[in-house]
């Protein structure tokens, strides 16, 4: 799978974070990017199109990101979910990975960090 073929869903209540991720992904050649401002919309968008990669905020206004992670992985266990948070605690990382997250990034993050995660997830999809 190439980056051009990759579909990405960004679930984050902060518009600036969604926009930053979207712009970074577009710069990487990924144009199939959807966004959701809360968990309910995110789950609905995911149900319509099982995305290859999901950037998921742990703290959403309507649902805990950990719970949403489990729901996404139940629907499509091959989807890569990267947890995004401003609170980089050991418990958050441990719980996310235990629930099936492919990665974990703390805000603020760099375009290089996003590029590394996308490349790692895409290479894992090929294997």
Return d(Cα 16, Cα 92) in angstroms, integer.
22
The per-residue pLDDT for range 8-35, each reduced to its tens digit, is 999 999 999 999 999 999 999 999 999 9
- Domain 8-124 matching CATH 3.50.50.60: the answer reads no
Measured between alpha carbons, how far apart are the two ends of the chain, in Å? 10
- pLDDT, average across residues 60-67: 93
Residue 124 has pLDDT above 80, yes or no: no
For the entire predicted model, the pTM comes to 0.92
The per-residue pLDDT for range 83-106, each reduced to its tens digit, is 998 876 778 778 888 889 998 888
pLDDT of residue 2: 65
Residue 125 has pLDDT above 70, yes or no: no
**What are the residue ranges spanned by the domains of the chain?**
8-124
**Ramachandran angles phi, psi of 119, nearest 5°:** -65, -40
């Amino acid at each position: 799978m190439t980056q051009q073929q990759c579909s990405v869903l960004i679930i984050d209540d902060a518009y600036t974070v969604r926009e930053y991720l979207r712009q970074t992904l577009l710069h990487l050649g990924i144009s199939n990017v959807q966004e959701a401002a809360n968990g309910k919309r995110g789950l609905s968008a995911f149900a319509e199109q099982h995305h290859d990669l999901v950037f998921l905020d742990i703290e959403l206004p309507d649902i805990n990101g950990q719970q949403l992670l489990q729901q996404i992985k139940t629907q499509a266990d091959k989807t890569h979910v990267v947890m995004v948070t401003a609170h980089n605690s050991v418990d958050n990382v441990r719980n996310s990975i235990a629930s099936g997250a492919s990665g974990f990034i703390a805000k603020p993050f760099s375009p290089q960090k996003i590029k590394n995660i996308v490349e790692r997830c895409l290479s894992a999809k090929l294997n």
